[in-house]
A and B are shown apart, each in its own frame.
Chain A
Amino acid sequence: MNDQATTVLAIGTKKGLWLATSRNRRSWTLSDPLFLMQEVPGVGIDTRGGRTRILVGTRSEHWGPSVVHSDDLGATWTEPERGSIGFDPDDGAALERIWQIQPDSEGRPGVVWAGCEPISVWKSTDGGEHFELNRGLWDHPHRSEWGAGYGGAAAHTVLPSPADDSIHVAMSTGGVYRSMDGGTSWEPRNRGISAYFLPDPQPEFGQCVHKIARDAGNPRHLYAQNHHGVYATPDAGDTWTSIAEGLPSDFGFVMLAHPRRPGTAWVVPLKADGERIPPDGELAVHRTDDGGGSWSRLHRGLPTREYNAVLRDAAAVDAADPVGVYFGTRGGSVYASADEGESFVEVASHLPDVLTVRAAVVAD
């Protein structure tokens, strides 16, 4: 990695946003809190086109949710007056929370996706300043049957394919939905994913898929961390098979994929639905380098005792070489690895619950 580059790590928490910066991804400088007392469940860093734009989904208990952005690494922020995301009066719904802000690929400049609560997907074509509701998913006949997990009913992951017009969305609860036509129409793609909490444990939809990630080598290859169950699909979600063997638990929230190397992904297992702590209270990241055939337990630099969960969006990778891996806990600790998970350093501690992290190498 270029030592002259700066990496920025955005940390969204239950009570504000922090920005950490580093020249070497080992020693970090932490900002003062931004948007203090506002929940920050969704952050996106868009580095396309030579501009670094940090997009932040905020939510005030009093004043509601909003999307703000900064083009100067957090020195100043802009909030569109009429709001970036908002339902029409005829929709009969109000935005509750922005769970995901996902810049599209280089080939679609200006396109940014958002996944929100209530379950909805939004698309911006102006870099995240204004979003349009995806009507195909909003009007889907299944919508009335999608439910709420503990954190609320949300489309929490949006994965546009860089290779074609397909998009995958994961929602809790509802499972994985796929569009092959850029978001016009959607179909559930959950075959093989368990929903043990339902009378029919293999329904067409209704699963509580916690996170999905797309493989770098084959855009049709995806990984999923389910509410119990870790899966991979070779065919864009037509069929999912378990890759949980070798992990200490098949429960957790995180799924990360390497931005370039095929077959490499990371999870952060938790013991079980009913015991949401690292197995044996020992925090570790697990990495596969063979598409889920085997897993390595990585914990160097992590605390030996940890009883907090790592939430679904509270983990991220950067695009550097070697790839940086980042995650934060509900106990407010944030860790960074500059070597793909082999070792970690603590970036911050004693923050509020970490809800999301995003990292990017930015131009000086």
Chain B
Amino acid sequence: MDSVSVLIPTLLRPLVEGRSEVVLPADAPMTVGGLLDRLSEGRPLLERRIRDETGALRRYVNIYVGGEDVRRLELLDTPVEPGDTVMVIQSVAGG
């Protein structure tokens, strides 16, 4: 496997041409932050939705690598291996 699959939540799909999954080439390990950089290339609106201007993951956006919440791992420094599936999911928020 020389790719990483990123699963996109419904509300963000208009920003990735309507797709539920974006497959990014990955022939070497990278970090979640690096993966988001690639995902956001040419998609500045998507970048703003997931990370703020400081580069921090927005508070109510969750990312899972291999089913594990990156907030329990190394956040944006969490390693991503070729073949991994990465999920972007909005968490519970709003009254």
Q: How far does the alpha carbon of A95 sit from the alpha carbon of B56 in the complex, in Å?
A: 12
Of B45, B53, B93, the residue contacting A62 (CB under 8 A) is B93
Number of interface residues of B (CB under 8 A): 20
Give the bracket for the number of chain A residues in contact with chain B.
20 to 34
* SS of A interface (majority): loop
Do A82 and B53 form a contact, CB below 8 Å, given A62-B11, A62-B90?
no
Q: A94 in the interface, Cβ–Cβ < 8 Å?
A: yes
Q: A64 in the interface, Cβ–Cβ < 8 Å?
A: yes
Q: Mark A8-38, 1 if CB is under 8 A from B, else 0.
A: 0000001100000000000000000000010
Of A15, A61, A82, A87, the residue contacting B60 (CB under 8 A) is A61
Q: B73 in the interface, Cβ–Cβ < 8 Å?
A: no
- A93-B54 in contact (CB<8A): yes
- A94-B93 in contact (CB<8A): no
Of A82, A87, A92, the residue contacting B44 (CB under 8 A) is A82
Do A62 and B91 form a contact, CB below 8 Å, given A79-B45, A81-B45, A82-B44?
yes
Interface residues of A in 77-120 (CB under 8 A from B): 79, 81-83, 86-89, 91-95
- A94-B53 in contact (CB<8A): yes
Q: Mark B12-44, 1 if CB is under 8 A from A, else 0.
A: 100000000000000000000000000000001
Q: A66 in the interface, Cβ–Cβ < 8 Å?
A: yes
* CB-nearest residue of chain A to B89: A62
Q: B2 in the interface, Cβ–Cβ < 8 Å?
A: no
Q: B71 in the interface, Cβ–Cβ < 8 Å?
A: no
* CB-nearest residue of chain A to B94: A61
Residues of A near B93 (CB, < 8 A) are 61-62
Q: B52 in the interface, Cβ–Cβ < 8 Å?
A: yes
Binding site for B on A (CB under 8 A): 14-15, 37, 61-64, 66, 79, 81-83, 86-89, 91-95
Give the 4 A-B CB pairs with smallest separation, nearest first.
A94-B52, A61-B93, A63-B49, A62-B90
**Given A62-B58, A62-B91, A94-B52, 13 additional A-B pairs, CB 8 A:** A61-B94, A62-B60, A62-B61, A62-B93, A62-B94, A63-B11, A63-B50, A66-B48, A81-B44, A82-B45, A87-B53, A93-B53, A93-B54
